[in-house]
């Protein structure tokens, strides 16, 4: 019967355990000097050698011919423990034996002396799964077990263990295995098996494994099932790293603020039965990789992708700033948490992509920081130009001495199109203003035609003066928003659809507006507060 590689090549001695030299040396020294503890606690992430070391230690304390602290693997005791015929070494899965009754049965068993070997050994895997009552039942036994009993506890979540358990054990923390150690182990196994692997493929497997030797050997086994000549491309195919161009399509939509393309891509992937949670996780990984490239001089050791995709990521990162990447990651992380509880994962993903493409639709702090950063960058680069306020022409000198008995002038008007000619851009002051009674209907239609304009025009009013629609709003963002991305044309078309009239757009200024120029950042924060966004500046 075929045996998978991680089982076939499970370490049998301490020298086979890669990446944990401090732990294996300490255990061998204890065995050589006879200072064997009654309880051990092995902690660390998956696939780092916790259970393997526990089994090796169980053999070593019972070996009839130990080799400098390591088991010989030839005597009857070592072979009996390996094949499971010696019942004095018991491996317990705490996930399925986590009750008080299970621990009480264990307490009764430990009073019996071993039948064959010197020590009765209990290996409790995933010990953090024990219930609170089971932990309490284990405390006294764990502190003062019989002289012929050794406990070995293994867990990936040591923070879930009570402090009373931790204080009764000799603790060893297993670190993630380095890619170099995993690569060395892969090359050794490949030499013993009938297949080949390139250096690039071995290193890629080690990086994908993320410190887990078991994951690395499982991926190696998966690659071998396709071909006996393993290359970096075959590893990328087996690990699902190939064929992910749709991630860069999402990135392009976010860069260009194209929410329609992003929603369309979500729809195509949904029709192709792509899991939305997996898609969200892949996007998080994409933006995390871009963040690493923007932050680290040499990101190759922190990003697990084929070389061709690494170059593509470097090129993509040049179009992003860190505040944008942080906002994307934060938004996707929140979306990933909500996808499991939402009624429709597709709708949740579509809403998330809209927030990424149009940060003004997102009221989170990260979104505001992204927008502030964009505003600051525009000011520094000279791309931000405030709409100039038109000033009234100076009156003739002969009129200066005449008493002011005229009717006050109408409020000044600033057009939204700075490129228009002065004679066409200014509506005549003497033209009569009439209320725009259908303005609320125009604003409601903008909720689907142009959500950003809909947001800034909430609470606004409008009037007709000649062929102009004069908009009165306290939201200063309207001035800059209406002149970009074709928003003015959308507003003009919407007004035409409601009234049938082709009008020009103007901004009606209040007479009491202060002349003092305001800092763009302060202006943005004030406008955000007027929109009902709570900001906390620390």
Q: Residue 490's domain is classified under what CATH number? A: 3.30.300.180
Instruction: Return the minimum-mean-pLDDT range out of 237-246, 266-275, 390-399, 417-426.
Output: 417-426
Res. 444: pLDDT tops 80: yes
For residue 11, is it within any domain? yes
CATH number for the domain spanning 58: value is 3.40.50.300
d(C-alpha 217, C-alpha 6), whole Å: 5
Per-residue model confidence as pLDDT tens digits over 6-44: 999 999 999 999 999 999 999 999 999 989 999 999 999
For residue 251, is it within any domain? yes
Domain boundary among 196, 213, 239: 239
For residue 212, what are the domain limits?
179-239
d(C-alpha 102, C-alpha 112), whole Å: 17
> How large is the average pLDDT for residues 435-449?
83
Res. 403: pLDDT tops 70: no
435 and 346 part of one domain: no
d(C-alpha 30, C-alpha 7), whole Å: 27
310 and 437 part of one domain: no
326 and 358 part of one domain: yes
155 versus 436: the higher-pLDDT residue is 155
d(C-alpha 319, C-alpha 437), whole Å: 45
34 and 113 part of one domain: yes
- For residues 240-264, one letter each, b for 16 or more C-beta atoms within 10 angstroms of the residue's C-beta and e for the rest, the string is ebeeeebbebbbebbeeebbebbbe
Contact 331, 290 (CB under 8 A): no
CATH number for the domain spanning 195: value is 1.10.8.60
12 and 142 part of one domain: yes
CATH number for the domain spanning 297: value is 1.20.272.10
Contacts 24+ apart (CB under 8 A), 76-81: 77/116, 77/117, 80/116, 81/55, 81/117
65 and 128 part of one domain: yes
For residue 191, is it within any domain? yes
For residue 486, is it within any domain? yes
22 and 114 part of one domain: yes
Residue-wise DSSP of 77-138 = HHHHHHHT--TTEEEEETTTS-SHHHHHHHHHHTTSPPSSSS-EEEEEETGGGS-HHHHHHH
219 and 249 part of one domain: no
Confidence band, pLDDT 50/70/90 cuts, at residue 457 = confident
Q: Is the dihedral of CA 498, 500, 503, 508 positive or negative?
A: negative
186 and 202 part of one domain: yes
Contacts 24+ apart (CB under 8 A), 304-309: 304/204, 304/207, 304/208, 304/210, 304/241, 305/241, 306/204, 306/232, 306/233, 306/236, 306/241, 306/242, 307/200, 307/232, 309/241, 309/244
pLDDT at 525: 61
For residue 298, is it within any domain? yes
For residue 388, is it within any domain? no
Confidence band, pLDDT 50/70/90 cuts, at residue 410 = very low
pLDDT at 430: 55
Q: Is the dihedral of CA 245, 250, 255, 261 positive or negative?
A: positive
Contact 491, 503 (CB under 8 A): no
Domain boundary among 191, 222, 239: 239
457 and 521 part of one domain: yes
For residue 382, is it within any domain? no
> How large is the average pLDDT for residues 349-368?
82
354 and 458 part of one domain: no
Per-residue model confidence as pLDDT tens digits over 167-176: 999 999 999 9
DSSP label at 260?
H
pLDDT at 451: 80
The total of structural domains in the chain comes to: 4
Per-residue model confidence as pLDDT tens digits over 496-530: 888 888 888 888 766 554 444 455 556 666 665 55
Res. 220: pLDDT tops 70: yes
pLDDT at 163: 92
- Percent above pLDDT 70 for the chain: 83
Per-residue model confidence as pLDDT tens digits over 269-291: 888 888 888 899 889 999 999 99
The whole-model pTM stands at 0.62
339 and 446 part of one domain: no
Domain boundary among 174, 194, 222: 174
Per-residue model confidence as pLDDT tens digits over 470-502: 888 877 777 777 777 678 888 888 888 888 888
For residue 397, is it within any domain? no
pLDDT at 469: 86
């Amino acid at each position: 019967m075929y045996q998978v590689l991680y089982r076939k090549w499970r370490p049998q001695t301490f020298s086979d355990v890669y990446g944990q030299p401090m732990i294996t040396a300490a255990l061998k020294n204890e065995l050589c000097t006879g200072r064997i503890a009654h309880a051990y606690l092995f902690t660390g992430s998956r696939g780092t050698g916790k259970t393997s070391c526990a089994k090796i230690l169980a053999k070593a304390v019972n070996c009839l011919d130990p080799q400098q602290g390591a088991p010989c693997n030839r005597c009857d005791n070592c072979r009996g423990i390996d094949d499971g015929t010696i019942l004095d070494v018991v491996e317990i899965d705490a996930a399925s034996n986590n009750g008080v009754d299970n621990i009480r049965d264990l307490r009764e068993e430990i009073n019996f002396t071993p039948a064959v070997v010197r020590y009765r050994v209990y290996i409790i895997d995933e010990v953090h799964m024990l219930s609170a009552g089971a932990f309490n039942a284990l405390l006294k036994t764990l502190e003062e077990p019989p002289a012929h009993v050794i406990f070995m506890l293994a867990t990936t979540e040591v923070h879930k263990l009570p402090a009373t358990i931790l204080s009764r054990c000799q603790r060893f923390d297993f670190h993630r295995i380095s890619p170099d150690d995993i690569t060395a182990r892969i090359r050794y196994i490949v030499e013993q098996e009938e297949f080949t692997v390139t250096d690039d493929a071995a290193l890629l497997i080690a990086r994908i494994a993320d410190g887990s030797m078991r994951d690395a050997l499982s991926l190696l086994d998966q690659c071998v099932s396709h071909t006996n000549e393993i290359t970096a491309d075959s590893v990328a195919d087996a690990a699902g790293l190939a064929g992910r161009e749709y991630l860069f399509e999402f990135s392009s939509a976010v860069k260009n603020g194209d929410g329609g393309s992003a929603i369309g891509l979500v729809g195509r992937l949904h029709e192709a039965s792509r899991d939305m949670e997996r898609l969200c996780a892949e996007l998080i990984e994409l933006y995390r990789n871009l963040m690493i490239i923007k932050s680290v001089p040499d990101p190759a050791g922190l990003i697990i992708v084929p070389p061709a995709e690494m170059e593509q990521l470097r090129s993509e990162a040049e179009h992003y700033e860190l505040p944008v990447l942080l906002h994307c990651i934060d938004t996707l992380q929140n979306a990933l948490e909500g996808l499991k509880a939402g009624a429709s994962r597709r709708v949740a993903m579509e809403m998330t992509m809209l927030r990424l493409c149009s940060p003004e639709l997102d009221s989170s702090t990260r979104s505001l920081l992204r927008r502030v950063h964009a505003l600051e960058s525009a000011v520094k680069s000279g791309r931000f130009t405030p709409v100039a306020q038109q000033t009234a022409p100076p009156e003739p000198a002969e009129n200066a001495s005449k008493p002011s008995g005229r009717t006050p002038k109408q409020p000044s008007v600033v057009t939204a199109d700075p490129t228009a000619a002065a004679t066409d851009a200014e509506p005549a002051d003497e033209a009569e203003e009439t209320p725009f009674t259908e303005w609320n209907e125009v604003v409601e239609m903008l909720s689907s035609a142009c959500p950003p304009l809909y947001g800034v025009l909430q609470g606004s009013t409008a009037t007709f003066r000649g062929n102009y629609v004069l908009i009165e709003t306290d939201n200063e963002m309207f001035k800059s928003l209406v002149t970009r991305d074709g928003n003015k044309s959308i507003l003009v078309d919407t007004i035409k659809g409601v009234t049938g009239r082709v009008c020009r757009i103007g901004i009606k200024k209040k007479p009491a507006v202060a002349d003092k120029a305001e800092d763009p950042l302060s202006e943005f924060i004030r406008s955000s507060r007027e929109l009902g966004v709570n900001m906390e500046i620390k």
